[in-house]
Chain A
């Protein structure tokens, strides 16, 4: 109860974070109730009248955002796209936080050759071009959500790991860690029971940025034709629109909404991280 009130008080003092969390909640509702909110089956080819595919329809009361070149309902695709965006964003962020924290904790606390190997690994990853790497991996394995999330996690963990590592370097010299060591705690116990909770908020901050990166990467990969072809995602909608002359037909109703949704969701991550940055590092606040 007290925690809830503290959170509410914090949100009221941080309008940025409040807006960010509201956007997240809105999309969460859309994703959960997608079947109820969508007006049509997003995959179904619709017909207008006798055997005529309902292609390139402008927005109307039956099709809020019109239809695609393939005669599918844009609004329904948009609503269902929320699911894949949230799935990709949240799982990728979770993987980045997990991998980054693990590497950072081990490197920072154990030091020595473990530290050297992990830091060299992160140097190598920072030398790999992000999107080209994701594309090559998708092309060489099976394109799909799992490949995408895995390659995003593989590319983004070094940033989190480096920050966590430097935090751990200072934490390990503190008195209470020393005390734990003296009482005979094993290094693993000290790392995961005593130090890990201390760096968790910092890891969460990097996680909220990773959500946005993952969604942008999914959109770019799908746009270039390396996404999961069976999925319904905003990136695929944009690719569909681009490949089917939505631009020259000036079908704004087709390609503007998916982009706006991506912007809103990625922006929400930025806003939340800005807000929590102030909570974590009050001195930084401007």
Chain B
């Protein structure tokens, strides 16, 4: 319990530092920030009024305190361009990003774990000679390029899948849950999720294979073999359980980093998620929205880093929290 609290305190420290850094990034960049963030067509009075309404006319330390205070209250300000609360815009985009990330990660890890365990047994075979370079190639390929190929092939050339968006234009749903479980949504989800999964599966595959090879040489496996246990029992009950440890940690870390990494895939497939909100906010100089999206993505990353650490300690009692790094 004390460990968990300690790790939680660490995460809160990192979050505070990230929030402060974000504040500094968006406000202390060279040049007049208002020129960056307000359109040139604004009149002088409009600019002054906007500055006052966003609190930008006050001294920086005061702005900083106000900023941290509103962050704690979950108030992320109002979008310059959409004139809506930032939090509402982000919460609208969040389910799409969560659906995409979780679907892709589950596919990638289910495939990677099975294929990796299999490859550990197929050491030195022709299959291994093909599979390992193939896994390395998918990790070396830019995600958006994989997406472009799938898009050109399965959407434009063969016309099987829709090319953009998360839902058919003009479709109405009774609730958000009804939308996320509709056949239309799932059909739109296939290509982006497949692209992300293709990119992500290399890590669990290589990791699973490496740890399986390591575990299979461990003393307790030799012991189990000497006890006369079947090969299957050894793999399932002893080896896989231990080999899964780093893979489970990687899954939690992957969930955190994919949230931010989705930026490009969401752009390729015009997927209305957090990453696209961030990109268009940054491009449109909508600074409260960009700041809010950045902080939300960072918060998910920090939380998942913490979960990964705790998971690792929980699964492997030999490791104490914090000592991992």
Seen from chain A, the residues whose Cβ lies within 8 Å of a Cβ on chain B are 119-120, 123-124, 126-133, 135-137, 139-141, 162, 212, 216, 219-220, 223-226, 235, 238, 241-242, 246-248, 250, 252, 255-256, 258-259, 262-264, 266-267, 270-271, 286
Q: By CB atoms of chain B within 10 A, which of A119, A235, A267 has the most?
A: A267
B294, A216: Cβ atoms closer than 8 Å: no
Residue of B nearest to A121 (CB): B17
With beta carbons under 8 angstroms apart, the residue of A220, A241, A286 that contacts B213 is A286
- Interface CB pairs A-B, < 8 A, 19: A128-B298, A131-B264, A132-B275, A132-B297, A139-B282, A139-B283, A220-B143, A224-B264, A224-B267, A225-B283, A250-B157, A255-B145, A255-B149, A259-B141, A259-B142, A262-B145, A267-B136, A267-B140, A270-B139
| A284 to B40 CA separation, bound complex (whole angstroms) | 60
Contact indicator per residue, chain B 274-290, by CB within 8 Å of chain A (1) or not (0): 01001100110100001
A-B contacts counted at CB < 8 A amount to 143
| A136 to B13 CA separation, bound complex (whole angstroms) | 22
How near does chain B come to A67, taking the closest CB pair, in angstroms? 18
B302, A127: Cβ atoms closer than 8 Å: yes
B15, A127: Cβ atoms closer than 8 Å: yes
| A225 to B136 CA separation, bound complex (whole angstroms) | 27
Residues of A within 8 A of B21 (CB): 124, 128
| A65 to B134 CA separation, bound complex (whole angstroms) | 26
Residues of A within 8 A of B142 (CB): 216, 219-220, 223, 235, 238, 259, 262
Which of the segments B25-33, B41-49, B78-86 contacts the partner chain?
B25-33
How near does chain B come to A78, taking the closest CB pair, in angstroms? 14
Q: Is B242 an interface residue (CB 8 A)?
A: no
How near does chain B come to A57, taking the closest CB pair, in angstroms? 18
Within 8 A of A (CB), among B215-249: none
A267, B137: Cβ atoms closer than 8 Å: yes
B257, A255: Cβ atoms closer than 8 Å: no
Q: Is B144 an interface residue (CB 8 A)?
A: yes
With beta carbons under 8 angstroms apart, the residue of B30, B260, B325 that contacts A132 is B260
Given A238-B145, A262-B145, is A136 in contact with B301 using a C-beta cutoff of 8 Å?
A: no
Residues of A within 8 A of B302 (CB): 127
Q: Is B252 an interface residue (CB 8 A)?
A: no
Q: By CB atoms of chain B within 10 A, which of A119, A120, A235, A242 has the most?
A: A242
Residues of B within 8 A of A141 (CB): 29-30
A135, B268: Cβ atoms closer than 8 Å: no
Q: By CB atoms of chain A within 10 A, which of B17, B36, B142, B151 has the most?
A: B142
B278, A238: Cβ atoms closer than 8 Å: no
Give the 7 A-B CB pairs with smallest separation, nearest first: A129-B260, A259-B145, A266-B140, A127-B14, A267-B140, A247-B152, A124-B17
B140, A136: Cβ atoms closer than 8 Å: no
Residue of A nearest to B325 (CB): A162
With beta carbons under 8 angstroms apart, the residue of B15, B210, B285, B301 that contacts A129 is B301
How near does chain B come to A191, taking the closest CB pair, in angstroms? 22
| A130 to B258 CA separation, bound complex (whole angstroms) | 10
Additional A-B contacts beyond A250-B152, A250-B157 (11; CB < 8 A): A129-B259, A129-B260, A132-B275, A136-B294, A220-B264, A223-B142, A224-B267, A247-B156, A248-B152, A248-B163, A259-B145
Residue of A nearest to B18 (CB): A127
B257, A224: Cβ atoms closer than 8 Å: no
B151, A132: Cβ atoms closer than 8 Å: no
Q: Is B108 an interface residue (CB 8 A)?
A: no
Q: Is B10 an interface residue (CB 8 A)?
A: yes
| A216 to B142 CA separation, bound complex (whole angstroms) | 6
Q: Is B148 an interface residue (CB 8 A)?
A: yes
B267, A127: Cβ atoms closer than 8 Å: no
How near does chain B come to A56, taking the closest CB pair, in angstroms? 14
Residues of A within 8 A of B149 (CB): 255-256, 259
With beta carbons under 8 angstroms apart, the residue of A119, A219, A255, A262 that contacts B152 is A255
A123, B10: Cβ atoms closer than 8 Å: yes
Residues of A within 8 A of B10 (CB): 123
With beta carbons under 8 angstroms apart, the residue of A120, A127, A263 that contacts B298 is A127
Contact indicator per residue, chain B 201-221, by CB within 8 Å of chain A (1) or not (0): 000000000100100000000
Q: Is B261 an interface residue (CB 8 A)?
A: yes
B156, A250: Cβ atoms closer than 8 Å: yes
How near does chain B come to A66, taking the closest CB pair, in angstroms? 15
